[in-house]
């Protein structure tokens, strides 16, 4: 039977400042984390220390340990699950192999060998610049040479990430001892036909003895089947009756079935492969209709409005992301009502832990291939690496029922057409052959059960603009970059795969990252932790449209700025999602940019780099709930949209109240509605209830859901000075309003860095109260709670 021996102990990192200099090394890990642990470099997440460690990515590094491959088995392999990125592997000076792709695994025959194992990493910069020198310059969104090396692109920095170019043994390494034969690859094709699960396991084996007869035996759901291995391959098929279907969260349960495949010589087991699978069907409706070309996910025959978020690597040093950290972040996503996570193309193919958690939580996975925001050369050595990594990772991820879509790239088709790339390339290769050739061919051959799309955004044809909102996927970045978030309501894209608005991280996160700085929007550390082009200018212009801005000369004014940016982020995202959800089924999904951060930074994330939820996170819980009310101007009047994504019809009566900011009810009515399952109902608001001028607003309530419409920007609204009472209650804080209190927010991390609130922004009418649950607060105090409460105030 194959035996595996992890190689985690005894590694050292050779320091480049001297041939004898060395440090203890953690494997899996990377150079930066080893240097941090040894105190050689400062934490690049703090202050502006990122710039102090830039030299690390420009150096060559060597990892070493002693290796003894002696074994009673016929063969021993040295297996690396991931090497970042360009490396030469040697044993006592003998070259075992050379590698140049972070996204692949590697295997070397070391049977009977022993000695000093060295993994010599060359600088990814040196490799990328050498490839660029041979193949020629290609345009990109950023100046760093990330498109010339098969490495996590955002290692080289992004508009939310630091430039920390890593190197190291970033995934597990082990010795595998085996005899006669081993399982080299299992490709599971899983389907459902009339309630019966169909499993086809295509098996590749590696042998030491070709003459030995081999069989494979597979079991799943109590069904067992055998097949002969002919040469180095074979296929075993199983039919599992009466399977329970795997559903996305909110649509049903997520039953998972254990699959075991054993490689046998006679009755003697040689190797075993185990995974969990789920039975479900998935499709992508891209049919043309009167609105353009659709993009609707269909799971088990159910058409979905995808409630999505974009996922970036959760740490710029991905070896630090543990199984529990994945689960924490993905539980946060599920807790916000998310049912789809897009793994963005500037990152990595995530570890099994990520996809396992998505399987269990019912989170659909849209998987980008790792290409983003650049023209990628198609010549060697890159072309062969791209196909090899695609083949490996498609097969690796196939067992996961959560995986429902392969996507060729992020924004590269758009970039070619719209960002001036085409004339600059002058006929040079730029990646089209990957997205429209290599990758769809690999997916069709290896994983025929899942749809593939060439890119995001992509309209489906060069006959249309790649980012045409009426066709396929659309990225909405004119809003934020140049236009107000109210402009989200001007169009109905078929599927919004990226959109978002920035805000700084939580206050405690800023304090940890900038411990000695007097905080201001434009203080040195704040500017360093703002990577977007003119990011602060866009924040300011976004605020000026709605709010009277605070001055810059006090900590209190920074606190107000911090609060208002959080409010504006939540409102911007709400403007988009409310509008697009109310236009289902023309619009079939929204994928927020972005769920998470990889370090403490001002960004579009709902969860900051320390894992703290911004107010946007809690707003997502409302926006992505099965039932949503929204008020919007449509045509010549106001309309209430009743959005029902639940499996049962939603019928009832909405209470409509026209109110003054002083708290008087100026008009009231009850409006009956009926929204079928997975449908939207619309109700016209009577003219007499429409608010007039900045002193009035409209409130709609139904079954615990609320929508509020103010016709004027906050800077014009004569808010009363907010009055409310604060009291401690078991597990939280009770706030009772005596006046209108708009966008009340308890910033729990100001009470204690570990404190968390269970809700974000809430608007209270006079006489209403809310209990805000607070955890992680060691010494509750009502006065402290009041000091951490923020809301809209009269303009200064």
Summarised one tens digit per residue, pLDDT across range 539-549 is 999 999 999 88
Listed in order, strand segments (DSSP E) in 33-141 are 61-68, 75-80, 86-91, 94-100, 106-109, 114-122
pTM: 0.97
pLDDT at position 476 is 98
Question: Strand, coil or helix: what is 303?
Answer: strand
Give the mean pLDDT of 220-230: 96
Whether 20 has a pLDDT exceeding 80, the answer reads no
Given a cut of 80, whether residue 796 has pLDDT beyond it is: no
pLDDT-derived band at 604 (thresholds 50, 70, 90) equals very high
Distance CA 101, CA 764 (A): 54
Query: From CA 760, how far away is CA 40, in angstroms rounded?
Result: 40
> Is the predicted pLDDT of residue 508 greater than 70, yes or no?
yes
Share of the chain above pLDDT 70, in %: 99
pLDDT in tens, 51-88: 999 999 999 999 999 999 999 999 999 999 999 999 99
Residue from 599, 630, 389 nearest 488 by CA: 630
Is 376:389 a contact under the CB 8 Å cutoff? no
The answer to whether the CB of 600 falls within 8 A of the CB of 45 is yes
Task: Say which DSSP state 307 is in.
Answer: E
Reference 166, options 21, 257, 270, 36; nearest CA is: 36
Integer Cα distance of 473 and 497 in angstroms: 6
- Sequence-distant (6+) residues with CB within 8 A of 310 are 341, 342, 344, 498, 591, 592, 593, 594, 595
Half-sphere exposure of 367 (CA within 13 A, CB side): 27
Q: What is the pLDDT of residue 550?
A: 75
d(CA 79, CA 92): 17
- Mean pLDDT over residues 666-689, rounded? 96
Catalytically active residues are 411
Distance CA 564, CA 547 (A): 8
Domains of the chain, earliest start first: 3-175 (2.60.120.260), 180-277 (2.60.40.10), 290-623 (3.20.20.80), 627-716 (2.60.40.10), 724-790 (no CATH)
142 and 38 in contact (C-beta within 8 Å)? Answer: no
The whole-angstrom distance between residue 28's C-alpha and the CA centroid of its chain comes to 22
Asked if pLDDT for residue 494 goes beyond 80, the answer is yes
What is the reported pLDDT for 634?
87
Tokens for 782, please give them.
Answer: 């009502």
Element (H, E) at 696: strand 696-702
Q: Where are the alpha helices (DSSP H) in 20-96?
A: 31-37
Residue showing tokens 């009755």: 267
Distances (CA, A) of 275 to 32, 215, 359: 33, 19, 12
Please name the helix (run of DSSP H) or strand (run of DSSP E) that holds residue 489, with its range, or none: none
Answer whether 164's CB lies under 8 Å from 203's CB. Answer: no
Decide: 438 and 382 in contact? Cβ < 8 Å. Answer: no
| Residue 773 CB neighbours (<10 A) | 15
CA distance readout (Å), 5 to 91, 175, 176, 177:
18, 5, 6, 8
Question: Contact 696/707 with Cβ under 8 angstroms?
Answer: no
Dist CA 711 CA 690 (whole Å): 9
pLDDT category of residue 566 using cuts at 50, 70 and 90: very high
How far apart CA 620 and CA 500 sit, in angstroms, is 12
SS3 content of the chain, % helix, strand, coil (to 5): 25, 35, 40
Average pLDDT of the residues in 640-661: 97
Q: Residue 85, preceding bond cis, omega within 30 degrees?
A: yes
The answer to whether the beta carbons of residues 167 and 61 sit under 8 Å apart is yes
Q: Is 382:146 a contact under the CB 8 Å cutoff? A: no
Closest CA to 330 of 300, 365, 279: 365
Q: Cα separation of 733 and 771, whole Å? A: 6
**Quick one: average pLDDT of 136-156?**
97
Give CA separation, 304 vs 167, 308, 738, in Å: 41, 11, 42
Given this model, what pLDDT does residue 21 score? Answer: 77
For residue 407, whether the previous peptide bond is cis, meaning omega lies within 30 degrees of 0, is: no
The strand ranges marked E within 123-230 are 156-158, 161-163, 173-178, 181-193, 196-207, 214-220, 223-229
Return the pLDDT at 556.
77
Round to whole Å and give the CA distance between 737 and 663.
11
Cα 90 to Cα 113, 118, 308, 400, 411, distances in angstroms: 12, 5, 45, 35, 39
Closest CA to 472 of 299, 310, 289: 289
Hey, which residues does 122 pair with through a beta bridge? 86
Phi, psi (deg, nearest 5) at residue 333: -60, -50
pLDDT of 555 over the 80 cut: no
What's the pLDDT at 262?
98
Phi, psi of 163 (to 5 degrees): -95, 100
- pLDDT (0 to 100) of residue 549: 83
Half-sphere exposure of 593 (CA within 13 A, CB side): 21
**Measured between alpha carbons, how far is 282 from 443 in angstroms, rounded to an integer?**
15
User: Is residue 48 pLDDT above 90, yes or no?
Assistant: yes
Each residue's pLDDT tens digit, 228-287:
999 999 999 999 999 999 999 999 999 999 999 999 999 999 999 999 999 999 999 999
For range 708-715, the mean pLDDT: 96
pLDDT at position 15 is: 78
- CB of 722 closer than 8 Å to CB of 739: yes
Average pLDDT, the chain: 96
Q: Where residue 554 falls among pLDDT bands split at 50, 70, 90?
A: low
755 and 762 Cβ atoms separated by less than 8 Å: no
Model pLDDT for residues 374-395, shown as the tens digit of each residue: 999 999 999 999 999 999 999 9
CA neighbor of 595 nearest in space, from 328, 282, 252, 323: 328
What confidence tier does 17 reach under pLDDT thresholds 50, 70, 90?
low
**What length is written for the chain?**
796
For the residues 508-532, what does the mean pLDDT come to?
Answer: 96
Residue 553: pLDDT band (50, 70, 90) is: low
Nearest residue to 708 via CA among 762, 757, 755: 762
First-to-last alpha carbon distance for the chain, in angstroms, is 76
Q: How far apart are CA 489 and CA 507, in angstroms?
A: 31
Calculate mean pLDDT across residues 204-214. Answer: 94
Q: Are strands 340-343 and 306-311 parallel, antiparallel or unpaired?
A: parallel
Which tokens hold the place of 439? 């990758």
> pLDDT at position 635, please?
83
Q: How far apart are CA 77 and CA 528, in angstroms?
A: 46
For residue 618 the two structure tokens come to 């809690």
Q: Provide the 10 A C-beta neighbour count for residue 288.
A: 10
Half-sphere exposure (CA, 13 Å, Cβ side) for 314?
A: 23
CB contact at 8 A, 794 and 719: yes
Beta carbons of 298 and 8 less than 8 angstroms apart: no
């Amino acid at each position: 039977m194959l035996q595996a021996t992890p190689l985690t102990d005894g590694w050292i990192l050779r320091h480049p400042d001297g041939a004898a200099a060395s440090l203890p090394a953690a494997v899996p890990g990377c150079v930066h984390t080893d240097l941090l642990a040894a105190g050689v470099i400062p934490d690049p997440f703090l202050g502006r220390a990122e710039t102090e460690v830039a030299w690390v990515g420009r150096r060559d590094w060597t990892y070493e340990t002693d290796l003894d491959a002696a074994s009673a088995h016929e063969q021993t392999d040295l297996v690396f699950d991931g090497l970042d990125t360009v490396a030469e592997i040697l044993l006592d000076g003998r070259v075992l192999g050379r590698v140049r792709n972070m996204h692949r695994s590697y295997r070397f025959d070391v049977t009977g060998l022993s000695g000093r194992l060295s993994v010599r990493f060359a600088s990814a910069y040196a490799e990328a610049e050498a490839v660029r020198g041979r193949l020629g310059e290609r345009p990109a969104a950023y100046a760093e040479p990330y498109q010339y090396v098969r490495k996590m692109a955002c290692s080289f920095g992004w508009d939310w990430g630091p430039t920390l170019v890593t190197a190291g043994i970033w995934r597990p390494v082990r010795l595998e001892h085996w005899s006669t034969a081993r399982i080299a690859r299992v490709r599971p094709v899983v389907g459902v036909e009339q309630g019966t699960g169909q499993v086809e396991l295509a098996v590749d084996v590696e042998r030491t003895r070709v003459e030995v007869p081999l069989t494979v035996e597979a079991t799943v759901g109590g069904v067992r089947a055998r097949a002969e291995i002919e040469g180095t391959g074979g296929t075993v098929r199983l039919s599992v009756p009466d399977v329970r279907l795997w559903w996305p969260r909110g649509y049903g349960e997520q039953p998972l079935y254990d699959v075991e495949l054993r490689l046998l010589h006679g009755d003697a087991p040689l190797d075993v492969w185990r995974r969990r699978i789920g039975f479900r069907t998935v499709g992508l409706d891209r049919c043309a209709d009167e609105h353009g070309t659709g993009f609707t996910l269909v799971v088990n025959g159910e058409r979905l409005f995808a409630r999505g978020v974009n996922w970036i690597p959760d740490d710029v040093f991905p070896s630090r992301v543990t199984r529990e950290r994945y689960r924490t972040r993905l539980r946060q996503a599920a807790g916000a009502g998310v049912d789809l996570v897009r793994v963005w193309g500037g990152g990595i193919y995530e570890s099994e832990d990520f996809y396992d958690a998505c399987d269990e939580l019912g989170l659909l996975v849209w998987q980008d291939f790792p290409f983003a925001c650049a023209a990628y050369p198609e010549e060697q050595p890159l072309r062969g690496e791209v196909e090899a990594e695609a083949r490996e990772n498609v097969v690796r991820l196939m067992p996961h029922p959560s995986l429902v879509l392969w996507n060729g790239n992020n924004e590269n088709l758009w970039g070619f057409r719209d960002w001036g790339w085409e004339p600059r390339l002058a006929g040079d290769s730029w990646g089209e052959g990957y997205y429209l050739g290599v990758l769809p061919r690999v997916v069709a051959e290896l994983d025929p059960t899942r749809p593939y799309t060439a890119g995001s955004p992509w309209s489906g044809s060069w006959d249309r603009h790649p980012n045409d909102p009426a066709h396929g996927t659309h990225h909405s970045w004119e809003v934020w970059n140049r236009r107000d978030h109210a402009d989200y309501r001007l169009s109905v894209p078929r599927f919004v795969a990226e959109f978002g608005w920035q805000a700084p991280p939580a206050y405690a996160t800023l304090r940890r990252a900038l411990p000695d700085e007097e905080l201001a929007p434009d203080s040195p550390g704040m500017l360093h932790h703002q990577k977007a082009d003119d990011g602060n200018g866009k924040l300011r212009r976004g605020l000026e449209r709605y709010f009277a801005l605070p001055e810059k000369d006090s900590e209190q004014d920074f606190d107000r700025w911090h609060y208002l940016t959080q409010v504006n982020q939540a409102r911007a995202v709400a403007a988009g999602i409310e509008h697009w959800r109310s236009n289902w089924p023309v619009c079939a999904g929204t994928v927020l940019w972005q769920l998470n951060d990889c370090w403490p930074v001002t960004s579009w994330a709902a969860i900051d780099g320390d894992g703290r939820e911004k107010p946007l996170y809690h707003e997502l819980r409302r926006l992505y709930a099965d039932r949503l009310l929204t008020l919007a101007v449509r045509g010549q009047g106001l309309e209430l949209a009743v959005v029902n994504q639940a499996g049962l019809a939603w019928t009832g009566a909405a209470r409509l109240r026209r109110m003054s900011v002083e708290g008087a009810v100026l008009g009231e009515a009850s409006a009956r509605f009926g929204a079928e399952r997975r449908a939207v109902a619309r109700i016209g608001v009577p003219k007499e209830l429409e608010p007039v001028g900045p002193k009035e607003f409209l409130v709609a309530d139904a079954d615990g859901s609320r929508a509020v419409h103010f016709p004027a920007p906050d800077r014009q609204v004569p808010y009363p000075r907010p009055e409310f009472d604060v009291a401690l209650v078991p597990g939280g804080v009770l706030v009772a309003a005596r006046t209108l209190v708009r966008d009340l927010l308890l910033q729990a991390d100001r009470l204690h860095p570990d404190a968390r609130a269970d809700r974000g922004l809430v608007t209270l009418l006079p006489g209403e109260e809310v209990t805000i649950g607070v955890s992680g607060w060691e010494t509750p105090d009502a006065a402290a709670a009041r000091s951490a409460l923020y809301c809209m105030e009269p303009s200064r």
